[in-house]
């Protein structure tokens, strides 16, 4: 049963990734914890960490 669920999940993820755009034309802008805007460049690969806490 677990293998069947994993296969279905993998197929769904593959279909969703195939339907997306190849490249994002606009830059991505997020807010940090101080409400400063942070923009990620699109000309090179970027790795960012998203850590959240609930207080």
Residue 47 lies in a domain: yes
Walk along the chain (55 residues) and give the pLDDT tens digit of each residue: 799 999 999 999 888 888 877 767 777 788 887 888 888 777 777 776 766 666 5
Q: What pLDDT is attached to residue 4?
A: 93
Q: What span, in angstroms and rounded, lies between the C-alpha atoms of 5 and 10? A: 9
Range of the domain at 49: 25-55
Residue 20 lies in a domain: no
What DSSP state is assigned to residue 19? H
Q: What span, in angstroms and rounded, lies between the C-alpha atoms of 12 and 14? A: 5
**Residue whose C-alpha is closest to residue 45's, from 33, 21, 28:** 28
Residue 5 lies in a domain: no
Number of structural domains found in the chain = 1
Residue 13 lies in a domain: no
Q: What are phi and psi of 8, to 5 degrees?
A: -65, -45
Residue 7 lies in a domain: no
Contacts of 32 (CB under 8 A, 6+ apart): 38
Residue 42 lies in a domain: yes
Structure pTM? 0.41
């Amino acid at each position: 049963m677990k293998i069947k669920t994993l296969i279905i999940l993998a197929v769904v993820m593959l279909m969703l990734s195939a339907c997306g755009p190849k490249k994002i034309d606009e830059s991505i802008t997020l807010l940090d914890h101080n409400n400063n805007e942070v923009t990620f460049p699109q000309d090179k690969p970027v790795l960012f960490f998203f850590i959240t806490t609930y207080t």
